[in-house]
Structure 1
Amino acid sequence: MDDAAPDLLPEGLEDRLPPEAAAATRVMRAIQDVMHSHGYDRVLPPMIEYERSLAGRMAGINARRMFRFVDPSSLRMMALRADYTPQIGRIAQTRLADAPRPLRLWYAGQVLTIKPEGLDPAREWLQCGGELVGADNVAAASEIVTMAIEALETAGATGISVDFTLPDLVDTLAADAMPLPAERIEAVRRELDAKDAGGLVEAGGEGYLPLLYATGEFDTAIERLAAFDAATGSGGGALASRIAGLKEIAASLGGRVRLTLDPSERHGFEYQSWFGFTLYADGVRGALGRGGTYRIAGEGKGEPATGFSLYPDALVDIVALADAREDLLFLPLGHNREEAARLRSIGWRTVAALSEGDAPGVLGCTHMLTSEGPQPV
């Protein structure tokens, strides 16, 4: 064991010091207030669950991303959550199985993975979001997208853009309009996601090549997708209902944000069904969140749901840099405690001296309480 630097944190983990921690609190509170205002109720699942529950609640969950260990009490395999959504699904189908549908729930906290994603070295993130359980129609999708945008705007994001996708695109086409052998479906999905025309042809998906060009600004891309759909199979139209749904969701946003379409995008959509979306904002590297429709595993075909997850760490960093220095009031020894309490009640932050050596400048205070009230230092 290497004890040369015992105070170093493991790779991909970090402390948030006071300015960043304060910004994180404000950003998370703003997002939470929006979800609360839309009638969503908070749930607080545990950080650790049985691996089987976390990995088996929805298709596409990768248990290898999770920290796992054997519970010394039950001798069963446990895991730390890498995503809140499976836990919300468990709560909805067990503790809240008899609650009226649609069921609106929200969550906020931290998630942890074994390996980072892409070029981002972080292995721990803030995650917050809302899940609408019991509905995956256009109305549900519109509500979720609108709420996600409002949450980011309230938290301080600007120049928001939303990229729509159809996660089950290949499965839908391969089932009838553009049949594919079962063993080729995953390869075609992968090459479409990678935007590799040569690889797509080699995978046996030459007929899917036009999908590589049905991307970009929403109005243009959706018409290209519609033209492709009309030309496929015997009469086409396999994607007609999905295309109509995307147009309706886009119309519900009323030009509020920039919209794009990438119908074959799969990254980050391991368990979504017919609709998915990714959120971006000016000045923020990478995606701020994702969402879409999915099914929670259960009896029969399971239960439909629609939701979104925000990962606001990058936004927190921007908010922290933009924050002005907050006023801090120094309370000297023997200060008027009633006056100090009154000032705190109207928004002042105070720091009380504990000894004669304490000074406002040393403690970072901007004001000092005097007989005439708060005075700048």
Structure 2
Amino acid sequence: MTNPSCIEAPLPKGVSDFLPETADKITFIADSIHRVFELWGFRRMITPLLEFEHVLALGMGDELRSKTFRFDDRQTGRLLAIPPDITPQVARIVATRMHALPLPHRIYYSGRVLRQAQMQSGKSREIFQFGVELIGLDSPEADAEMVAMAVEVLKNLGFTGFKIDLGQVEFYRGIMDASGLSAEVQKQLQEAISKKEVSAVRSILESAGAPDRVKQEIALLPRLYGGREVLQEARSIAGNERSLRALDNLAQVVDILDIYGVAEHLTIDLGEIRGLDYHSGITFEGFVPGVGEAICSGGRYDDLTAKYGYPAHATGFAFNILALLASMSKRPEVEASSSRDFLIFNRKDERREALEVAQKLRSLGYTCARDIIKRDFDSSLEYAKKMNIRLLLVIGAEDCAAGQLYLVRVADRQSITVSEEELFDKDLDLKFDLQGENHG
């Protein structure tokens, strides 16, 4: 037999294997998110892993296009692409396959996407996206619904002290359109503002010879961050109708979020413009303590489905599951999600009782495996410990009478003898606080 340690089997940089314990934690997080999506009336969509590149490119900006994996299709000779984002796929499907159905469409999805990353960045090229798209509504309430759902998911996952940063890209666009600055200068300013580089913003404005009014408006953008008072401060410097309309829209969304009771988690960031090429209104990002990147992001994108021939207003957001995993993988409830309930150790030559007991336990909702390999008790117990199985159930133990079973808590070897009736009693607390005679 080949020794696996002698096989060189590296992975490409930026992707990972997820072993069962980690995969269980990802499933736990995903199930919690999906439950919220379902409760809010969203229906699941499954998108393909491959698209024709020219079709997918219709729904992507330059940044996403530059990160897309492309290759030739041997069957057609056409260029294929692995999607770097699922939202353009949803837009294509809605526009081409669902246009005859009544609006709005409430869709959720989950999947992995691939994005090119610079070799030295250390970033993963594989992203787990779990998100929703609400298509067909041009309403502050629709935007507020996205934020409220994100807050509900984070609360359900046990987070406290998290923040949702709200932005409005139309506010920025209005100021830039009214500034009279060249496209090149606007591009430089966009990069500096996105990085919150106040001194760089001032330097660019000085070099461009911008009027004092424009300097004042643009120089304040990186500082327009905080509570609701930011809206009033922004209104005092905005000298154009487009920006004022954007502030009115943002204020309406905040009012609705007050009704949802999530105001404590909100901050306003009018200098946040990273979604400028993609979004058309409200944007938001979610941050949790101890994680340097956003764990969710989204916003309004009213122009996307039109690129596939079906104009429709839309808003949505997605969670980055691996960022969530990094922030909560050591929490007790997540750790518990990677464990299993029972391993059956059969000391009898006959297997019928072991198989029937296992089947009954599964019917009651417990996870249960049978240790089919012939080995001694200590070896079976050690296996259960390594496999993160909580209870070892021994059938045919020496001290047990007919109809009795020997139950061992793997973590500390505490044990009790139970009857089959007690074992199958749904009210019996088997959740690992075993009491009674200690045989360990």
TM-score by length of 1: 0.89
* Contact 2:279 2:300 (8 Å CA) reproduced: yes
Which of 336, 346, 368 aligns to 2:393? It is 368
> 1:48 Cα shift?
1.0
Q: Which has the higher helix share?
A: 2
> 1:213 maps to which residue?
223
Match of residue 332 from structure 1: 345
Which position in structure 2 is the counterpart of 1:170? 172
Paired residue type of 1:356 = K
- Aligned to 2:164, the other structure's residue is in SS state strand
Query: Conserved in 2, the CA contact under 8 Å of 1:329 and 1:369?
Result: no
Mean Cα deviation higher: 156-165 or 106-115: 156-165
SS of corresponding position for 1:21: helix
| Contact 2:170 2:246 (C-alpha < 8 Å) held by counterparts | no
1:367 counterpart SS class: strand
1:117-171 per-position Cα deviation (integer Å, ceiling 9, x unaligned): 9955211121010001122421110111111221232234332210011223332
SS of residue in 1 equivalent to 2:48: coil
Pair 350,258 (structure 1): closer, same or farther in 2 beyond 3 Å: same
Give CA deviations for 1:21-66 in whole Å, capped at 9, x if unaligned: 1010011111111111211111111111011122212445531201
User: Any gaps of 5 or more consecutive residues in structure 1?
Assistant: none
Q: Does 1:356 align with 2:374?
A: yes
Unmatched tracts of structure 2, length 5 or more: 1-5, 396-402, 414-440
| Contact 2:166–2:267 under 8 Å retained in 1 | yes
Give the letter aligned to residue 246 of structure 1: L
Does 2:231 align with 1:222? yes
Letter of the 1:368 counterpart: L
Distance of 2:278 and 2:74 partners within structure 1: 31
Which AA in structure 1 matches 2:229? T
- Mapped partners of 1:285, 1:193: distance in 2: 16
Q: CA deviation at 1:373?
A: 4.0
* CA 67–312 in structure 1, closer or farther in 2 if over 3 Å, else same: same
RMSD: 2.5
Distance 1:161 1:71 in 2: 44
Aligned to 1:89: 91
Q: How many residues matched?
A: 367
Q: Against the structure 1 CA distance between its residues 270 and 152, is the aligned structure 2 distance closer, same or farther, given a 3 Å change threshold?
A: farther
**2:273 match: secondary structure:** coil
The alpha-carbon deviation at position 258 of structure 1 amounts to: 2.2
Larger Rg: 2
Match of 2:66 among 64, 67, 70: 64
Could you tell me whether the CA contact under 8 Å between 1:189 and 1:264 is conserved in 2?
Answer: no
Q: Please tell me whether residue 180 in structure 1 is matched to residue 181 in structure 2.
A: yes
The match for 1:346 is 364
Decide whether aligned partners of structure 1 residues 299 and 351 sit closer, same or farther in structure 2, where only a CA change above 3 A counts.
closer
CA contact (8 A) 1:66 1:112 kept: yes
The worse-fitting range, judged by mean Cα deviation, of 362-371 and 38-47 is 362-371
Deviates more, 1:257-266 or 1:137-146: 257-266
Structure 1 window deviating more from structure 2 (164-173 vs 70-79): it is 164-173
**Change beyond 3 A, Cα 1:9–1:40:** same
Letter in 2 for 1:138: P
Q: Distance in 2 between matches of 1:143 and 1:118?
A: 38
Structure 2 matches for 1:267-346, cutoff 5 A?
267-294=274-301, 295-296=303-304, 297-298=306-307, 302-322=311-331, 323-324=335-336, 326-333=339-346, 334=351, 335-346=353-364
Distance 2:241 2:82 in 1: 43
Aligned AA for 1:28? Answer: A
CA–CA distance in structure 1, aligned partners of residues 79 and 191 of structure 2: 31
1:74 aligns with 2:76: yes
Closer/same/farther in 2, CA of residues 356 and 194 from structure 1, 3 Å limit: closer
1:189 is matched with which residue? 190
1:240 matched to 2:244? The reply is yes
The answer to whether the 8 A contact 1:332-1:369 is kept is yes
Identity across the alignment (%): 26
Counterpart CA distance in 1 for 2:224 and 2:269 is: 7
Cα distance 1:119–1:318, how it changes in 2: closer, same or farther (>3 A)?
same
User: In 2, distance between residues paired with 1:116 and 1:108?
Assistant: 25
Give 1:91's aligned amino acid.
Answer: I
1 or 2 for the larger relative contact order (CA 8 Å, sep ≥6)? 1
Secondary structure, aligned partner of 2:282:
strand
Residue 186 to residue 168, structure 1, CA distance change in 2 (3 Å): farther
- Indicate the larger mover: 302-311 or 316-325: 316-325
- Using the size of structure 2 for normalisation, the TM-score is 0.77
Aligned partner letter, 1:19: E
